[in-house]
Amino acid sequence: MPLSKRARIEVYLVVDNSAAYKLLLNAIQNEFLSTFGGCTVIRGAKGLYSSENGSVDADDIDVIYADTPFDSEADFATLSAYTDSLKAALLKATSEGSILIAVHQIFHSV
């Protein structure tokens, strides 16, 4: 069987132990479940970045991703509109200055 080309959407969130964060994490999971039929959650990843003074800072990160039925090239406008609206909702719901959402092409063997 030939490989099936899909787009994967990944959301990277800085962990916050508040009740609001737990609700947000559940909301993203439910969004991906209802829209794409499932998702994967990777808890406790670590994000590293250089601070303005040159030191290395670290954050605990949760990654939530879903494989979509879309082709990242053919359905670029649809994926872009979806991730723009998702990012706007996440920024509104958090105190973070930025949210990383990545979309990339994957291949499934079905």
All structural domains of the chain: 3-109 (3.30.70.120)
What's residue 13's pLDDT? 92
How much is the pTM?
0.89
pLDDT tens digits for range 76-94: 999 999 999 999 999 888 8
pLDDT tens digits for range 24-83: 999 999 999 999 999 999 999 999 989 889 999 999 999 999 999 998 899 999 999 999
Question: Contact 68/8 with Cβ under 8 angstroms?
Answer: yes
1, pLDDT greater than 80? no
DSSP state of 2: P
- Going by C-alpha positions, the residue among 75, 65, 77, 67 that lies closest to residue 101 is 65
CA distance 75 to 59: 33
